[in-house]
Amino acid sequence: MNNAANISKTSIFISNDTGIMHLASGFDIPVIGLFGPTKAYEWGPIGRNKVSILGTGNNINKIEISGVYETVIRLLYV
């Protein structure tokens, strides 16, 4: 099975800023893009149920897991 087929079967897709994140954005599944030095407003996933999270000080390593978790819950259950 290829990447696209696997992605289309997921409940949610969480990724850093990569090409595969953009591929996932083409499906009707929630996508969370994690960003550091790149500009989320330029490169983030676009559309309904698509969210970008930017690390504090443009540092992806400063993204809090609790914030990602809260976003997952919001996208899946609200």
Model pLDDT, residue 67: 97
CATH code 3.40.50.300 for 3-77: no
pLDDT of residue 1: 57
Q: Residue count of the chain, please give it.
A: 78
From 49, 14, 45, 46, select the one nearest 29 (Cα to Cα): 49
| Distances 67 to 1, 4, 35, 36 between C-alpha atoms, Å | 32, 27, 13, 15
Q: Where are the domains of the chain?
A: 3-77
Query: Can you give the pTM of this predicted structure?
Result: 0.91
CB 41, CB 33: distance < 8 Å = no
| pLDDT at residue 56, rounded to an integer | 93
Q: What is the pLDDT along the chain (78 residues), one digit of tens a residue?
A: 577 888 989 999 999 999 999 999 999 999 999 999 999 999 999 999 999 999 999 999 999 999 999 999 999 997
Q: What is the pLDDT of residue 18?
A: 92
